[in-house]
A and B are shown apart, each in its own frame.
Chain A
Amino acid sequence: MQDFTRRTLLQGGTALAATGMLTGPALFDFAKAWAQSAPWKAEPGAKLTVMRWKRFVPQEDDAFNAMVAAFKAATGTEMNVFSESFEDVQPKASVAANTGSGLDLAWGLHTLPQLFPTKVLKMNDVADYLGKKYGGWTDAAAKTCKQGNDWLGIPVATNGGYMTYRKSALEKAGFKEFPKDFPGFLEMCKALKKNNTPAGFALGHASGDGNSWLHWVLWGHGAYTVDQNDKIIINSPETAKALEYCKALYDAFIPGTASWNDSSNNKAFLAGELYCTANGISIYVAAKTDASKKELAEDTYHALWPVGPVGKPTELQLALPILAFNFTKYPNASKAFIAFMLEKENYEKWLDGAQGYLTQTLNAYESAPIWKADPKNEVFSQASKRTLPAAGIGTVGEKAATAIADFIVVDMFANYCTGTKDAKGSMAEAERQLKRIYR
């Protein structure tokens, strides 16, 4: 757990100064002015305990810490922030929800606030304030946090995952640009394998990478786990086509993807074994910041996910919503902090620190400097706009979150691609698992 002091602020500021951000005293002055005019005044003696996911890009952490320290200095609110790995955020937030203590705010993944709608502080006023001020929320972000007309949390950002590839390998395979449709993408993967510069996408129990690209394949063929009424529709001709397509891709992949977790493609790409995968910007950031990988970084490019037969983007990007529990003793401080996080003076610098790992959910930030700072960042700016919510066309909520956490779609594709089951068997098993969850 980290306690924020002026020293922390200055330390964070030093790190951020290197990238030309609003730091130290300037950030403090802004925070002080903001606190005086903000719609929410932190309760005297307020103390907030915040749990967030563990950062993947160190500079993002620096920016976040500087913002927290400035908020503390400006409002007098004590801030205790600690990080947990992706998988541990939800269980720990749930324990807090169950016991009614331990945390004031939790910043997690997917549809976290939907898991315990009766335990969260309604954020309608905060969402309204930020939405009006910054050009409105993206559709998927709003769906992720809303239940009826109520905002159960605030969609802070989206972690965008996009095609990450080696340009030289693509050119050698005869492709001047990254394919924009499914047939072109398959041809490219085949050509890459032929040149011994293979592509590879996780088919193992990889919460982020596995779920995102396989939902893209599924939705790209017009297939979904459930329809708008949460009726299970996975067993369909569209799913069968998606399975066939995925099998053809799998045959062209680097061997071993059925065992991959979320870090496997990063390792393989950075080791020069892999030439195309889907990932957040962290692979590129890691290559950029490692002097020994300069050539690899220069050769690494990003592209949008190709569009499937349905003719429109069908991406699944990772939502990152924050919530405040309704048992917090400091609801105003909680709301103030969340609103403060997303103010332009903070948010754009935070996006800058994240170097493309985080994408805005408020439309006004589309013009944030980070997206033009490096042409290779640009595709990530679209993640929140292009993604579907985690439920696809179904209802966002605990059942959809469970289906993703239980790897129903991942296992269905993996069963077929590895030859463990035929298409009918793979779909039947997925259907059975979904019935279990949606009963």
Chain B
Amino acid sequence: MIEANAWTQLKHNRNWLGFWFMVPAMAFLIFFLAYPLGLGIWLSFTDTRIGRVGQFVGTENYEWLWDDSIFWLSVFNTLLYTSVASAIKFAVGLYLALLLNENMPFKAMLRAMVLIPFIVPTVLSALAFWWIFDSQFSIISWSLKHLGLINQNINFLGDTTWARICVIFANIWRGVPFVAITLLAGLQTVSPSLYEAATLDGATRWQNFRFITYPLLTPIIAVVMTFSVLFTFTDFQLIWAMTRGGPVNATHLMATLSYQRAIIAGQLGEGAAISSAMIPFLLAAIMVSWFGLQRRKWQQGENND
């Protein structure tokens, strides 16, 4: 019996045909996602510099980072930035989504307005915030001084605490529309009949939210918050344009420190190690969401665990 060659299999076997249809997508994923990730991890084990090929140095880059106070400060900043900004973005986004889901005049216009921060390019909004929080030319300081509430400018970006608050605020401003609009889309999939039935049973507004809205919204909350956390954790443009990681590295995130070390200072290996160190945190965020979703078997027509 003659063994079928690939071309014959392709013509007659639907599984092989499916495989070949998958090849472009696989190639795309390998070249543009898996290869850069693999290369980044490989670089983190070398002493590669911009301009010259490096040697394999094992875990040396990671060992140096382990004792590097600026690296750990960037880890702290990243976690603080991500947790505070994500929590507030969720709270404000959910509130706006619930509000915009109500019947109110000019609803369509209000929904469009909520999206404005999201459609402004990040660098432009960062530059705007840089001006708003400028040590000398801040419009906030100017206004408060003219109202007689303060005597001298607030040192927004020159003080470590203020600088952290400012960059978190800017991130929240940019990120709220994404959360709000996505949750609003989720809210609109909830059948009004459920609320009608609950109301007939005497449920209060809070009980409606707690026992109908929230459970039905949970899957989309998980997805939205996963993406929100990922975007916030890997934020770069906002910080780089506003503070460049300053003052005294108080706003350096892992992404900005990685860029500074790898591209500006030329130490690609070390920069890659910082980037690679972000992977466990990002994986953890994804896993929380993933397992959260997995538990909700009702999505596949089964009961909750």
Contacts and interface: CB of A to CB of B under 8 A. Distances in A.
Nearest to A274: B136
B266 A256 contact: no
Interface in A410-429: 411, 414-415, 418, 420, 429
Interface in B145-173: 152-153, 155-160, 163
Contacts, number: 120
Interface stretch (A132-140, A149-157, A258-266, A387-395): A258-266
Contacts of A175: none
A433 to B, nearest CB: 7
A255 B248 contact: no
A90 B68 CA distance: 25
Contacts of B245: 205
A18 interface: no
B135 A260 contact: yes
Interface string A373-414: 000000000000000000000000010011001100001001
A264 B131 CA distance: 11
A298 interface: no
A432 interface: yes
Contact of B246 (A97, A205, A271, A274): A205
Contacts of A249: none
B182 to A, nearest CB: 34
A37 interface: no
Interface stretch (B2-10, B22-30, B47-55): B47-55
Contact of B136 (A95, A204, A254): A254
Contact of B50 (A115, A203, A264): A115
B67 interface: yes
A22 B265 CA distance: 40
A293 to B, nearest CB: 17
A203 B136 contact: no
A98 B51 contact: yes
A98 B50 contact: yes
Contacts of B159: 258, 418
Interface string B260-278: 1101111100100000000
Contact of B247 (A119, A204, A432): A204
A256 B267 contact: no
- Among A118, A258, A271, the most chain B Cβ lie within 10 Å of the Cβ of A258
Interface string B237-263: 000000111111110000000001101
Interface in A193-218: 203-205
Interface in A251-297: 254-261, 264, 267-268, 271, 273-274
Contacts of B163: 259
B51 A97 contact: yes
Contact of B248 (A97, A264, A415): A415
Contacts of A401: 265-266
B266 A402 contact: yes
B291 interface: no
Contacts of B248: 258, 411, 414-415, 418, 420
B265 A271 contact: no
B32 interface: no
A432 B135 CA distance: 31
A116 interface: yes
A420 B243 CA distance: 17
A436 interface: yes
A14 interface: no
Nearest to A433: B70
Nearest to B251: A259
B19 interface: no
B15 interface: no
A414 B250 CA distance: 11
B300 interface: no
B74 to A, nearest CB: 13
Contacts of A203: 247
B281 interface: no
B160 A420 contact: yes
Contacts of A205: 243-246
B98 to A, nearest CB: 38
Contacts of A274: 136
Contacts of A273: 136
Nearest to A436: B64
Nearest to B262: A91
B254 to A, nearest CB: 16
Nearest to A88: B263
Interface in A78-123: 87, 90-91, 93-95, 97-98, 115-116, 118-119
Contacts of A93: 51
B211 interface: no
A268 B136 contact: yes
A285 to B, nearest CB: 21
Contacts of B246: 204-205, 258-259, 414
Given A115-B266, A274-B136, 15 more contacts: A90-B50, A91-B50, A115-B49, A205-B243, A205-B246, A258-B158, A271-B137, A273-B136, A398-B49, A402-B266, A411-B70, A414-B248, A420-B248, A432-B68, A436-B68
Q: Which 6 residue pairs spanning A and B have beta carbons closest together?
A: A256-B135, A259-B157, A94-B50, A258-B247, A116-B51, A259-B158
29 contacts: A90-B50, A90-B266, A95-B50, A115-B266, A118-B52, A204-B244, A205-B246, A254-B135, A256-B134, A256-B136, A256-B155, A256-B157, A258-B155, A259-B155, A259-B157, A259-B243, A260-B158, A261-B244, A264-B136, A271-B137, A402-B267, A405-B264, A406-B264, A406-B265, A411-B248, A414-B247, A420-B160, A433-B68, A436-B68
